[in-house]
């Protein structure tokens, strides 16, 4: 095969193998360098992959250049050292005449040679990458991409922004930006937006992007990073279609901390426009929800991050952060809404120093102030609705607040769950459970969503659903105790006594006593209750949230036994600490069936609720 031999001879003569080795080696060094600095220099995650693609594109260009470039043929009588002299002369631009009488060869290198071609390709790759990173040549489909062919496709989760450099003092900033972008997207009715809790949880599972999307039930993922240089900030973000791993849009933003509002809005608008046709759904942040004071905004972001922990220490720190934000800018509505939300949640979690009535008064003051400053303060309406519902306020204004909050932020899992509690309280069980399910769809990995469903299901007397919800919460966070309470109650009411006792695992002795009593062990049940009483302070009323819960459990036990008078006595004491000592969901459940029709219990409960309402009015009037 003379043709093939000639081709191989030409490849050797034109040094193609050497060119290939040089190009591959140089490309490997460039790619490793780009991959090494991409994490520390704030470059987007797609940069190393894009560099590899450009290097592969450049390979055939370099090989073709090497092949078409002619090289002088070495004759039989030509010595290697003569070629060395010839090459040196060629570099200097001289003309060499062969001694053996061969035709003289002029070897001026010109611009089109192997070395220049390799350098040009590598420089071009670096230039394109820099252009992409600067946003001049954006990676992906840009804002004109249309991928949402059905309403279900327009779904997205914003993963926690990477904190480039790992500085602890910047962690709050990346958390806050993640939450704010999520909140902005949550205002778009056409989008399904997963809540931050689930987004944060799923990142700890070490899943791929398609696996994350499948776990959360979304089609798209937003990821990015945050890097801070003194008062300068860089944020990168990219939108990925999970099934194909296609980058639909990517960009990076550089600016000052004061520019964060515009930055967050821009990212939300870019993502929303890539997923839906309703770009107008991303509302511009009102002036009352902005602040020109970077310290006020910094304190607010810190407070949001601390509140998200749902721990006592975290929420106490959140109060301090929100108060510091208000001190810097007294007209900054989101800080008041954050305070209102924190006080409201403390009524359920328990504050170490304030009773439920004081928490209600402070929370309502902050929620009303937030709404006064900004009529579009979704969190203000949500917090006020939550506080009023737990205070058993009239249903109509509470429902109005929740509906207004959902109008402003239709993807709020919290509001869907809290609205479900109101509907359940009003006996609209199917509607309430439907709202609870919506909250779960938006925040499927948050244990609190499943605990909320269990609570509503107990009130609706759907005990299998309640037990499943509690079990799912435990599967997500085994250390939680509240799911065991509702799981035990659901098993008790379904007459699954063994399941009730086995599932409690030593928690909630009051529920254990009820299960013991139902098994026929009345003496054992009373022994547990007597033991509980010995743990209480000598005072007649509870002195803390934890003591209040013991009073609650004892009141429930006596109601389960059918002792209306004793149940009322312990209920009245429990309610002296908090208006939310025993939720209406529990009082309306099967736990109180043996006393609910008793006239003395009915009149006594009404008397207690009248006192609660009066006490709440006094708190608000201060």
Q: Are 562 and 518 in contact (CB under 8 A)?
A: no
- Kindly state the tokens that stand for 330: 């007294």
One domain, residues 85 and 162: no
- pLDDT on residue 537: 76
78: containing domain: 2-134
Residue 416 resides in a domain = no
One domain, residues 113 and 149: no
Show which of 285, 313, 328 is a domain's final residue. Answer: 285
Residue 298 resides in a domain = no
Task: Give tens-digit pLDDT for 588-617.
Answer: 999 999 999 999 999 999 999 999 999 999
Measured between alpha carbons, how far apart are the two ends of the chain, in Å?
103
Distance CA 424, CA 584 (A): 9
Q: Are 410 and 276 in contact (CB under 8 A)?
A: no
Q: Are 234 and 254 in contact (CB under 8 A)?
A: yes
- pLDDT on residue 576: 96
Distance CA 606, CA 518 (A): 28
Percent of the chain with pLDDT over 90: 51
One domain, residues 19 and 44: yes
HSE-CB at 169 with a 13 A cutoff on CA atoms is 3
Looking at the predicted structure, is the pLDDT value of residue 451 above 60? yes
Percent of the chain with pLDDT over 70: 73
Looking at the predicted structure, is the pLDDT value of residue 85 above 80? no
Show which of 76, 99, 134 is a domain's final residue. Answer: 134
One domain, residues 160 and 99: no
Show which of 94, 110, 134 is a domain's final residue. Answer: 134
Chain centroid offset of residue 98 CA: 76
Distance CA 254, CA 232 (A): 7
Distance CA 489, CA 23 (A): 71
One domain, residues 152 and 72: no
- pLDDT on residue 3: 62
Confidence of residue 84 (pLDDT cuts 50, 70, 90): very low
Give the residue carrying structure tokens 């609705």.
385
What dihedral do alpha carbons 460, 461, 464, 465 form, nearest 10°?
10
Lowest-confidence pick of 53-67, 337-351, 487-501, 518-532: 53-67
One domain, residues 278 and 153: yes
Q: Three-state SS for 480?
A: coil
- The shares of helix, strand and coil residues in the chain, as percent rounded to the nearest 5, are 65, 5, 25
Lowest-confidence pick of 44-58, 121-135, 166-180, 457-471: 121-135
Q: Are 467 and 491 in contact (CB under 8 A)?
A: yes
Q: Three-state SS for 240?
A: strand
- pLDDT on residue 231: 72
DSSP letter for 77, please: T
With 0-12 / 13-18 / 19 or more C-beta atoms within 10 angstroms meaning exposed / middle / buried, residue 467 is buried
Distance CA 221, CA 155 (A): 9
Chain centroid offset of residue 598 CA: 48
Q: Three-state SS for 148?
A: coil
Lowest-confidence pick of 56-65, 215-224, 416-425: 56-65
Q: Are 104 and 75 in contact (CB under 8 A)?
A: no
Higher pLDDT: 312 or 291? It is: 312
The two beta strands, 220-229 and 192-193, are unpaired
Higher pLDDT: 373 or 40? It is: 373
- Kindly state the tokens that stand for 2: 């003379």
Task: Give tens-digit pLDDT for 494-536.
Answer: 999 999 999 998 899 999 999 999 999 999 999 999 999 999 9
Residue 544 resides in a domain = no
Distance CA 124, CA 595 (A): 82
User: Mean pLDDT across the stretch 428-437?
Assistant: 97
Looking at the predicted structure, is the pLDDT value of residue 71 above 90? no
Q: Which of 445, 545, 430, 583 is nearest to 592 (CA)?
A: 583
Q: Are 247 and 236 in contact (CB under 8 A)?
A: no
How many CB atoms neighbour CB 103 within 10 A?
A: 6
User: Mean pLDDT across the stretch 533-546?
Assistant: 86
Residue 293 resides in a domain = no
One domain, residues 17 and 128: yes
Distance CA 158, CA 175 (A): 11
Q: Which of 369, 185, 394, 177 is nearest to 274 (CA)?
A: 185
Looking at the predicted structure, is the pLDDT value of residue 561 above 70? yes
- pLDDT on residue 488: 97
Looking at the predicted structure, is the pLDDT value of residue 62 above 70? no
- Residues 6 or more apart from 336 whose CB is under 8 A from it? 322, 326, 366, 367, 369, 370, 373, 380
pTM of the model: 0.73
Which CATH number is 213's domain given? 3.40.50.10070
Looking at the predicted structure, is the pLDDT value of residue 392 above 60? yes
One domain, residues 79 and 187: no
Give the residue carrying structure tokens 């009037």.
621
One domain, residues 102 and 152: no
Distance CA 287, CA 442 (A): 28
Residue 71 resides in a domain = yes
Residue 123 resides in a domain = yes
The residue length of the chain stands at 622
Confidence of residue 14 (pLDDT cuts 50, 70, 90): low
Looking at the predicted structure, is the pLDDT value of residue 621 above 70? yes
With 0-12 / 13-18 / 19 or more C-beta atoms within 10 angstroms meaning exposed / middle / buried, residue 68 is exposed
Helix (H) or strand (E) holding 256: strand 246-256
Residue 14 resides in a domain = yes
Distance CA 254, CA 233 (A): 6
How many CB atoms neighbour CB 430 within 10 A?
A: 10
One domain, residues 8 and 114: yes
One domain, residues 245 and 147: yes
One domain, residues 87 and 122: yes
Beta-ladder partners of 252: 236
Residue 620 resides in a domain = no
Q: Are 445 and 197 in contact (CB under 8 A)?
A: yes
Give one word for 392, left, alpha or beta, with left for phi > 0 and alpha for psi -120 to 50.
left
DSSP letter for 521, please: -
Helix (H) or strand (E) holding 514: helix 509-519
The CA-based diameter of the chain, rounded to the nearest angstrom, is 129
Count of domains forming the chain: 2
What's the sign of the alpha-carbon dihedral 441, 445, 448, 451? positive
């Amino acid at each position: 095969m003379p043709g093939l031999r000639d081709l191989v001879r030409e490849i050797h003569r034109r040094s193609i193998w050497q060119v290939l080795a040089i190009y591959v080696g140089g490309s490997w060094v460039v790619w490793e360098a780009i991959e090494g600095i991409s994490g520390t220099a704030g470059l987007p995650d797609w940069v190393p992959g894009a560099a590899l693609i450009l290097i592969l594109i450049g390979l055939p260009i370099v090989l073709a250049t090497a092949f078409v470039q002619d090289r002088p043929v070495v004759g039989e009588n030509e010595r290697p050292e003569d070629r060395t002299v010839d090459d040196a002369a060629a570099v200097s631009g001289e003309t060499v005449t062969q001694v053996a009488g061969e035709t003289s060869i002029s070897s001026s290198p010109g611009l089109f040679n192997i070395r220049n071609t390799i350098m040009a390709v590598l420089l071009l790759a670096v230039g394109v990458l820099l252009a992409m990173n600067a946003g001049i040549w954006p990676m992906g489909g840009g804002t004109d991409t249309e991928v949402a062919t059905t309403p279900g496709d327009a779904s997205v989760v914003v993963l926690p922004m990477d904190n480039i450099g790992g500085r602890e003092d910047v962690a709050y900033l990346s958390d806050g930006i993640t939450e704010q972008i999520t909140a902005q997207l949550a205002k778009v009715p056409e989008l399904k937006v997963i809540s931050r809790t689930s987004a944060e949880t799923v990142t700890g599972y070490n899943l791929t992007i398609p696996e994350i999307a499948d776990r959360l039930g979304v089609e798209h993922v937003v990821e990015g990073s945050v890097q801070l240089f003194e008062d300068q900030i860089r944020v990168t973000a990219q939108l990925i279609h999970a099934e194909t791993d296609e980058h639909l849009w990517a960009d990076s933003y550089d600016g000052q901390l004061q520019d964060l509002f515009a930055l967050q809005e821009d990212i939300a608008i870019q993502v929303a426009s890539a997923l839906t046709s309703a770009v107008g759904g991303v509302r511009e942040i009102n002036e009352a929800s902005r602040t020109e004071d970077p310290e006020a905004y910094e304190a607010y972001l810190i407070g949001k991050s601390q509140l998200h922990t749902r721990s006592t220490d975290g929420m106490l720190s959140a109060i301090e952060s929100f108060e510091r934000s208000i001190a810097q800018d007294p007209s900054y509505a989101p800080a008041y809404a954050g305070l209102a939300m924190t006080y409201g949640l403390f009524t359920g979690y328990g504050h170490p120093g304030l009773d439920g009535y004081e928490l209600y008064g402070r929370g309502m003051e902050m929620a009303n102030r937030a709404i006064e400053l900004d009529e579009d303060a979704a969190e203000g309406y949500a917090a006020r609705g939550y506080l009023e519902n737990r205070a058993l306020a009239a249903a109509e204004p509470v429902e109005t607040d929740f509906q207004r909050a959902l109008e402003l932020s239709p993807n709020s899992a919290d509001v869907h769950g809290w609205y479900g509690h109101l509907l359940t309280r009003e006996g609209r069980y199917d509607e309430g459970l439907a709202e609870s399910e919506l909250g779960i769809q938006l925040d499927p990995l948050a244990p609190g969503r499943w605990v909320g469903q269990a609570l509503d299901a107990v009130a609706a007397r759907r005990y299998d659903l309640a037990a499943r919800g509690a079990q799912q919460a435990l599967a997500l966070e085994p250390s939680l105790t509240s799911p065991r309470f509702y799981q035990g109650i659901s098993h008790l009411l379904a007459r699954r006594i063994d399941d009730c006792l086995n599932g409690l695992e030593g928690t909630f002795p009051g529920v254990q006593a009820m299960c013991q009593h139902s098994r026929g062990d009345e003496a054992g049940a009373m022994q547990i209750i007597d033991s509980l009483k010995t743990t209480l302070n000598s005072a007649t009323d509870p002195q803390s949230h934890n003591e209040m819960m013991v009073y609650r459990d004892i009141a429930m036990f006596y109601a389960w036994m059918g002792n209306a008078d004793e149940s009322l006595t312990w209920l009245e004491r429990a309610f002296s600490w908090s208006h939310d000592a025993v939720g209406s969901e529990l009082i309306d459940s099967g736990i109180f069936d043996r006393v609910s029709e008793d006239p003395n219990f009915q009149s006594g409960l009404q008397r207690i609720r009248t006192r609660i309402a009066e006490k709440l009015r006094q708190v608000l009037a201060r």
